[in-house]
């Protein structure tokens, strides 16, 4: 790396916060100069094969010509106008598409500027729905442990109560209800004990519960856990039986990642409210959306306060909507099911051998998501540079090494990613004195 970059990285280390990092104990960061297809080019010229899709988002890879063109074209008209009192075609087109590709029940769209904000909006909708129906005491949410729904205060209050940052702020967070998370190891098996716990909490607190919020089939940043469609189906049945709303957070799972366009399709159910984000713009710009049914929208509208009190400055940003429209066009013009399926098959075959290593607790794959769960928390100071040396971009956290590559990744590139994972996990297992353990 040349001197210019050394100075810039040093400045970064002293002045910039990165996600979930400390300024007093910085972890290494790697300067990226450009990205194209599935490759990130570092400032020193090294190329890394991307295993992360920049956190579920860049499903078509980087520097995608159609997505680039959509932004360039939209720039000629306007990059932004306020959405209060004005509207525009990129937003209308995108809302139409989202209504079209999601369940028929979902008919109304709120555009938010990030996933966390979409979750905040969802919570407001649920609470306001019950307030409008004359039940303002219904203010609590029921969720499951190991969830992740974002970093803002409303969203944080429904994240896993034990891992993450929840405990730091527990005194100021809304108090919600957490059921046992469904069994992860037998992905197809139905977990009766988890359902019993869920139903018990639902029944005993029904007077105060507004909604259930859950990530369908895959719990992302709260533990990379997979659970059965049968569990999700049962959750929907219980929500109907006890008359509470079901909110599905598909911010991570949406747009094909689990093998179906939305994970809820595998349980043959529909949510009352749905959050999408991350891959919505193909990873180009920050945009998310909350969709709801007419039942929810009409409920809110029938109340004494029929206005949904939310309206971000950059709501429905035209550049973001334009690139989201293009991303959906690219997705549907491709055989994404086949791509996700072949990534799944390859991840299963190539990650399975990792289970023999002493450091490994579990290996699991669902759709284009591969997870190696380790017995112990990884040492990021050792493991991150090691992955870079091996020419791949894999960003582990806690005790999890996981990948969700762009759908366009080629077989040989994916093999390089899985080989690097095997290598790193074997090095951890070989020498217990190694900093990786």
Supply the minimum distance, in Å, between the C-beta of residue 396 and ligand PLP: 16
Of how many residues is the chain composed?
437
Q: Tokens representing 229? A: 């469609």
* SS3 assignment, position 251: coil
* SS3 assignment, position 7: helix
Regarding 324 and contact with ligand PLP (CB under 6 A), the answer is no
Pick out residues in 273-302 that bind ligand PLP (CB under 6 A). Answer: 277-278, 288
Regarding 125 and contact with ligand PLP (CB under 6 A), the answer is no
For 228-240, give one letter per residue: b (16+ CB within 10 A) or e. bbbbbbbbbebbe
Binding segment (CB under 6 A) for ligand PLP, from list 99-107, 143-151, 325-333, 348-356: 143-151
Size of the site for ligand PLP (CB under 6 A): 16
Measure the CA–CA gap between 110 and 48, rounded to whole angstroms: 36
Residue nearest to ligand PLP (CB): 115
CA distances from 285 to 72, 298, 309 (A): 13, 31, 24
Q: Annotated catalytic, 190?
A: no
The binder of ligand PLP chosen from 160, 215, 272, 413 (CB under 6 A): 215
Regarding 251 and contact with ligand PLP (CB under 6 A), the answer is yes
**How is the beta sheet containing 369-374 ordered, strand by strand?**
360-366, 369-374, 400-403
322 contacts 355 by C-beta, under 8 angstroms: no
Regarding 53 and contact with ligand PLP (CB under 6 A), the answer is no
Q: Annotated catalytic, 278?
A: yes
Regarding 254 and contact with ligand PLP (CB under 6 A), the answer is no
109 DSSP assignment: E
Supply the minimum distance, in Å, between the C-beta of residue 371 and ligand PLP: 14
Nearest Cα neighbor of 334 from 67, 52, 48, 35 is: 67
Regarding 221 and contact with ligand PLP (CB under 6 A), the answer is yes
Is 140 or 149 the residue whose CB approaches ligand PLP more closely? Answer: 149
Site string for ligand PLP, 144-163 (x = CB under 6 A): ----xxx-------------
Supply the minimum distance, in Å, between the C-beta of residue 200 and ligand PLP: 25
Catalytic residue among 20, 89, 203, 241: 20
Residue 86's Cβ-count burial label (10 Å; 0-12, 13-18, 19+) is: exposed
Q: Write out the catalytic residue numbers.
A: 20, 148, 249, 278
């Amino acid at each position: 790396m040349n001197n210019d970059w050394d100075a810039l990285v040093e400045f970064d280390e002293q002045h910039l916060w990165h996600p979930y990092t400390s300024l007093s104990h910085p972890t290494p960061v790697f300067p990226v100069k450009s990205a194209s297809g599935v490759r990130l080019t570092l400032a020193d010229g090294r190329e890394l094969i991307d295993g992360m899709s920049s956190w579920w988002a860049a499903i078509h890879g980087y520097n995608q010509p159609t997505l680039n063109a959509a932004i360039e074209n939209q720039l000629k008209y306007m990059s932004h106008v306020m959405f209060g009192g004005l509207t525009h075609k990129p937003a209308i087109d995108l809302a139409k598409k989202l209504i079209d590709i999601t369940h028929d029940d979902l008919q109304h769209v709120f555009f938010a500027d990030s996933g966390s904000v979409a979750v905040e909006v969802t919570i407001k909708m649920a609470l306001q729905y019950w307030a409008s129906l004359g039940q303002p005491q219904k203010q609590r949410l029921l969720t499951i442990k190991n969830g992740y729904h974002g970093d803002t205060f409303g969203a944080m209050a429904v994240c896993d109560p034990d891992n993450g940052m929840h405990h730091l702020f527990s005194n100021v967070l809304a108090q919600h209800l957490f059921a046992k998370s469904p069994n992860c190891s037998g992905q197809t098996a139905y977990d009766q004990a988890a359902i019993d716990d869920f139903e018990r909490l639902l029944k005993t607190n029904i007077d105060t519960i507004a909604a259930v919020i859950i990530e369908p089939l895959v719990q992302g940043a709260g533990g990379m856990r997979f659970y059965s469609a049968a569990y999700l189906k049962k959750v929907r049945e219980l929500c109907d039986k006890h008359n509470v709303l079901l909110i599905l957070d598909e911010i991570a799972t949406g747009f094909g990642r689990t093998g179906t366009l939305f994970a809820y399709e595998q349980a043959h159910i529909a949510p009352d409210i749905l959050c999408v984000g991350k891959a919505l713009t193909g990873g180009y710009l920050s945009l998310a959306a909350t969709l709801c049914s007419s039942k929810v929208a009409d409920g809110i509208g029938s109340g004494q306060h029929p206005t949904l009190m939310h309206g971000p400055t950059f709501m429905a940003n035209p550049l973001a909507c334009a690139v989201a429209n293009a991303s959906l066009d690219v997705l549907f013009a491709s055989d994404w099911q086949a791509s996700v399926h072949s990534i799944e098959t390859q991840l299963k075959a190539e990650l399975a051998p990792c289970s023999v290593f002493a450091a490994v607790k579990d290996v699991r794959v669902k759709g284009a998501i591969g997870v190696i769960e380790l017995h112990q928390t990884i040492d990021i100071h050792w493991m991150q540079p090691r992955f870079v040396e091996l020419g791949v971009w894999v960003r582990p956290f806690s005790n999890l090494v996981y990948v969700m590559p762009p759908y366009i990744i080629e077989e040989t590139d994916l093999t390089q990613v899985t080989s690097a994972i095997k290598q790193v996990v074997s090095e951890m297992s070989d020498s217990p004195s190694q900093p990786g353990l």
